[in-house]
């Protein structure tokens, strides 16, 4: 492993992005015989899997360039229920047992193609007055995160078998798939949350070229 590198890691579920960085830093520090400088270029939620671009050494100064790249995800959205965090880790609340047809699903997805306004989740790594939003939310503090403009370049329905919708989506940097899932649920009137998420591409890089973290 080079001291100044761009590493492609296939993040498993159940570990934070900071946990991935810590493992790489430990391994690289052992190889170099000194403390290595390691950073990431965009977080993935603990329940999510897929491509993380890790930068080391002098390459850390370019981290922002990588974080601004478009991203592609495959996600499973579960209808009929909402989550306090927008993912499987939150408190779940049943909303509706209505089962939309394929035409209704396609019509709902069509509303989210192109440039849209989106509000990031309360449980996110966004900083508010220097503090992470998820830290504030966990303490029960009211978190008001401003809406933002994001772009959904493509949104493809891969499969639908109630209550789960599987999609592939190509988005601009800063887009939250958990928020997209919740907004789709609102349009359908069923409620929804993101039950599975995998990042498959960042810019020109694909998860197919990434290494498992244990390697």
Label residue 203 exposed, middle or buried (CB < 10 Å: 0-12, 13-18, 19+).
middle
Does residue 50 contact residue 200 with C-beta atoms inside 8 Å? Answer: yes
4 is catalytic: no
Q: Active-site residue among 45, 70, 87, 183? A: 45
Identify the CA nearest to 127 among candidates 117, 139, 135, 119: 135
For CA atoms 22, 23, 26, 29, the dihedral sign is negative
Does residue 63 contact residue 173 with C-beta atoms inside 8 Å? Answer: no
Hey, which residues does 72 pair with through a beta bridge? Answer: 170, 201
Identify the CA nearest to 118 among candidates 174, 185, 156, 78: 174
Count each helix (H run) and each strand (E run) in the chain, helices first: 5, 14
3-state secondary structure of 179: helix
Any idea which residues carry the catalytic annotation?
Answer: 45
């Amino acid at each position: 492993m080079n001291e100044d590198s761009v590493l492609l890691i296939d993040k498993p579920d159940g570990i934070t992005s900071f946990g991935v960085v810590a493992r790489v830093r430990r391994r690289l520090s052992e190889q170099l015989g000194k403390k290595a400088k390691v950073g990431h270029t965009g977080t993935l939620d603990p329940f999510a899997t897929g491509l993380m671009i890790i930068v080391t050494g002098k390459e850390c100064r370019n981290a922002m360039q990588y974080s601004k790249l478009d991203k592609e995800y495959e996600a499973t959205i579960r209808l009929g229920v909402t989550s306090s965090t927008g993912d499987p880790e939150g408190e779940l609340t049943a909303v509706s047992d209505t089962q939309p047809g394929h035409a209704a699903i396609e019509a709902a997805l069509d509303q989210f193609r192109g440039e849209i306004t989106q509000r990031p989740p309360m449980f996110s790594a966004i900083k508010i007055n220097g503090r992470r939003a998820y830290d504030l939310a966990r303490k029960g503090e009211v978190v008001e995160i401003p809406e933002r403009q994001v772009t959904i370049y493509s949104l493809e329905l891969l499969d639908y078998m109630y209550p789960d919708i599987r999609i592939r989506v190509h988005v601009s940097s800063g887009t939250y798939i958990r928020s997209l899932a919740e907004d789709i649920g609102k349009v359908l009137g069923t409620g929804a949350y993101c039950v599975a998420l995998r990042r498959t591409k960042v810019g020109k890089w694909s998860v197919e070229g990434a290494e498992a973290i244990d390697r």
